[in-house]
Copies of this chain bind each other. A is one copy, B any other.
């Protein structure tokens, strides 16, 4: 995690100003649900193991699922077949599938923007440039 403040002072307990994947929870949930219906806690586990860099916040996850439901991207139903607390079973809707596809375009675009930045940086700081012309790099 990085934050301008952290280079010269303490914390700022929150949300890492600076770069991070913002809003990637939604597409990850849509993608995981495309593989089959699931419930919040399980999605949390799958994200922990496979998806996001750091532990997704349960609060955010459940809020995001409810939001996706409000928007019609997923459909939920209570599942009380198993013992233990009732769980909400989420299922991807056709709209949700469309949304997932649309998301991918956005993500690819963002990735290209990051590439663009990294290229621009690489131009300003040529990696190990041993240049025969003798022009100074930095």
Residues of A whose CB lies within 8 Å of any CB of B are 2, 4-5, 7-8, 17-24, 26-28, 31, 34-35, 50-53, 67-68, 71-73, 95, 98-100, 102-104, 106-111, 113-118, 120-121, 124
Contacts and interface: CB of A to CB of B under 8 A. Distances in A.
Contacts of A120: 31, 50-51
A52 to B, nearest CB: 7
Contact of A4 (B67, B109, B121): B67
A46 to B, nearest CB: 11
7 contacts: A7-B99, A7-B102, A21-B114, A27-B117, A31-B117, A34-B124, A111-B115
Given A5-B71, A21-B114, 5 more contacts: A4-B68, A18-B103, A20-B23, A31-B117, A108-B114
Contacts of A106: 2, 18-20
A124 B31 contact: yes
Interface centre among A22, A71, A103, A114 (most CB of B within 10 A): A114
A50 B28 CA distance: 30
Contacts of A71: 4-5, 7-8
